[in-house]
Structure 1
Amino acid sequence: MFIYTVQPGDSVYQISQKYSVPFDQIRLANGLNQTNIVPGQALVIPTNTYIVQPGDSFYSIAKMAYLSVNLLIRTNPTISPNRLQPGMRLTIPNISNYQATGLGFYTLRTPEQDQSLINNFAPYATYIAFFEYHFSIDGSLNTINDATAIRTAWSRRVKPLMTITNLTESGFNAQLTHQMLNQPSARNNLVNHIDQIVTNKGYAGVNIDFEQTLAADRDLFTGFLRELRDRLKPKGKLLTVAVPPKTNDNIPWLRGYDYGGIGSVVDLIFIMAYDWHHGASEPGPVAPINEVRQTLQFAIDRIPRNKILLGLPLYGYNWTLPYVEGTIYPGISNQNAVQLAMNYQVPINYSEKDQSPYFQYVDDQGIQHVVWFEDARSMSVKSLLIREFKIEGAGVWQLTLGFPEGPWILTNFFHIKKS
């Protein structure tokens, strides 16, 4: 696999001819329902052979394939870097030898839809966390129709996890978590209910996603996780947790998450390494690479590497300009972002500093927009970070958003662990 950045005047047909890859393979690998691609668009080219083009070098080809130049040269020993000629064929080496855990969050829909999506994603997942159960102030849980999803996951060698959140009608509720954690009876009740559902429904374990946890509840939250672990571990059940990204321990609104304490208790930590810019912020990259790198550096100093999953967003945001403080701007899936650029026929830019794509357009009402999202390039760079930091793997939020290039990227960089 390599990633081609569309140039002015390109068409999918021309690209397929240039690299001798069937048109339909390129279209399917990138989820293209139409072929009016735009300059700057990143296309996954699903092949292990690269046909040299005018102006190419080993360096430029290695960059497109996210390889080191030395590895590309070693894989093609009969071709001298100083004698590279158009039309030559280079073998792109297989680098999927990194054993990684893959986690996908999935918002349950109908049993039929659940079965279809799980079947499609199963080859690329170790775990799927079903979203979501949420607790009440007394520690009780709601009920959801998850039987088909659980059964399908196990049948496809994917371990199902139940996700518990502090979601209410108004969003994630820190006060709800605070009240539950500070009432021993409610806390014990929640542990009991989680234990019962995991055991009775046949889940492999649980994912705790309590967001906006207060600094005052830092030790109580870690203590709750310890109580839950002590209940689940003797039964062979997993305890995983989702946490926000941190680059230091002095950010007031993130003090509720003790990376070191949590890491000593749970089996896996999903770091939500995104939303540096979001629907309530000014425009900018959702997951800028420098901040992601700093988050991982902070994490590995406190959490065992084999417990860390890097969270990857399958979405971006669409801001209108000029930005108005206090406005909530909508999210947009990565796939729909590309579709939007194609619909308006505007070029896609790529921030080298942030390793993130973005574009601007003017809508039918004459309103200017800027969209930041993730694409095959930004996801590939983050995949390299996982290998560089030698962490356990990756997780995505969330599968219903879709990302056709995702399976190609995952299987290019990793060998996904299965049960």
Structure 2
Amino acid sequence: MQGLLGARRGGGVSLLLVLLLHLQLGSSTCPCHDPSLCKPISGNRDFEVFVFDVGETTWKFYDWSKITTVAAFGKYDPELMCYAHSKGARVVFKGDISVKKIVSPAARAAWIGQQVKLAKKRYMDGLNIDFEQEVNKSSAEYNALTDLVKETTEAFHKEIPGSQVTFDIGWFPECIETRCYNYSGIADSCDFVFVMSYDEPSQVWSNCTLRGNAPYPQTIAGYDNYLLMGIHPKKLVMGVPWYGYDYTCRHLSKDNVCSFAKNPLQGAQCSYTGGNQVPYSIIMKQARNSSSGILWDKVQKVPYLEYKDSHNASHQVWFDNPRSISLKAAYVKEHGLRGIGMWNGNCLDYSGDSLAQEQTKAMWEVLKPK
């Protein structure tokens, strides 16, 4: 092939590569200017940085020196695929199936076939299974879900060599929001699992007072339990939030305790779902005009801030920043986890503002512990 490339340059070689890729993958014409960029990414990096992207064009400003995988949850963007491949990063897409269908082997096979076909057509590198549906341990769906993950992984690995299949799991392996999965079986059945260690206080069983979206002690307890289950560290990628929650306080005490309205969820008297989800970029703008500045909770090891709105109502905003994420990234390194990632890459400020550039750079840099 080297001799052929040396002898023939220009459109003829490009056309030949396109035809070869078309025959190999059974998909549409390669959309990249360099047809070799449509080849699947193979091999693994020593450390995984898994980035969820929800669309638009902010991906052009990501720190691509760190990214290993982009999970594209927005509209299909061939330009993103081509660019990621040029940087040696995989691009996978979201996969979801109704819990009612997974008990049928035929329905599972049909769904898997559709996902593989779509991956080939779009020159993608695999699938991120974002299931997040209720499953009871005593149900037929419990084992069927593990079968689905195993069969999907086997099909992708066979049809697209070097492809990657991952599965998103909750922050703690104890039926969070009635998601009772065979976590160890699922982890064994795919390349790795992405642990969604955020939105942790979805159910509040004590009094309705605010705390962090992903408090350090609670987050680490989840990983300790996954490891105690026997899941290999290299099967776990830690998820961190690049967003926070803004809550209106019914009462804000002098010692910064914010009480909020009851919002029952699945038996619990309070739920943090009543807050407004806010990207890190907006929170940093709020911090500039905050009455409190950025505060630090010593127990939860997370930051928060306070402000008053135009109606003079008190608000608290709880979030993660480089300081809190660095503690979690240190755990990743210390325990030899597969890597780290975030929901989602679009949450930072990629404008030309000098302060925003510093804040954005710090969030990317903290992902890889030194």
The TM-score with structure 1 as length reference comes to 0.64
Whose RCO is larger (CA < 8 A, sep 6+)? 1
- 1:142-181 Cα deviation digits (max 9, x unpaired): xx43322211210121111111235xxxxxxxxxx22121
Structure 1 residue aligned with 2:156, among 188, 213, 232?
232
Query: Which residue of the other structure, out of 193, 203, 207, is the alignment partner of 1:269?
Result: 193
Match of 1:128 in 2: 70
Deviation string 1:245-286 (CA, Å, 9 cap, x unpaired) is 11x54657131x211101110101100011113599852101
The answer on 1:103 being equivalent to 2:30 is: no
Find the residue that maps to 2:171 and give its secondary structure: coil
Letter of the aligned partner of 1:103 in structure 2?
F
Q: Distance in 2 between matches of 1:348 and 1:406?
A: 16
Q: Which residue of 1 aligns with 2:17?
A: none
Report the CA distance shift for 1:150/1:213 in structure 2 as closer, same or farther (over 3 A): farther
2:114 corresponds to which of 193, 211, 218 = 193
Who is 2:366 aligned against?
Answer: 409
2:227 alignment counterpart: 300
Amino acid at match of 1:309: V
Task: Flag the 1:204–1:252 CA change in 2: closer, same or farther, 3 A.
Answer: closer
Which letter does structure 2 place at the counterpart of 1:108?
A: G
Query: Which residue, out of 205, 219, 238, partners 1:310?
Result: 238
Residues 104 and 397 in structure 1, CA contact (< 8 A), matched pair in contact too: yes
| Distance in 1, Cα, partners of 2:178 & 2:185 | 17
- Rounded to whole Å, the distance in 1 between the matches of 2:67 and 2:129 is 19
Which stretches in structure 1 are left out of the alignment for 5+ residues?
1-97, 133-143, 167-176, 415-419
Aligned length: 288
1:211 equivalent to 2:211? Answer no
Q: Could you tell me which of 366, 372, 389 is aligned with 2:312?
A: 366
Aligned to 1:180: 101
In the TM superposition, residue 118 of structure 1 has moved relative to its aligned partner by: 4.1
Match of 1:319 among 232, 237, 247: 247
CA contact (8 A) 2:99 2:133 kept: no
**Paired residues of 2:248 and 2:313 also in contact (CA < 8 A):** yes
Aligned equivalent of 1:60: none
Q: Secondary structure at the match of 1:371?
A: strand
**Candidates 329, 335, 351, aligned match of 1:383:** 329
Task: Please identify runs of 4+ aligned residues in structure 1 that moved more than 4 A.
Answer: 278-282
Q: Residues 146-161 of structure 1 correspond to what in structure 2 (within 5 A)?
A: 146-161=77-92
- Alpha-carbon distance between aligned partners in 2 of 1:120 and 1:372, rounded to the nearest angstrom: 24
Return the alpha-carbon distance in structure 2 between the equivalents of residues 189 and 245 of structure 1.
Answer: 30
Instruction: Give me the TM-score of the superposition, normalised by structure 2.
Output: 0.73
Match of 1:291 among 218, 221, 226: 218
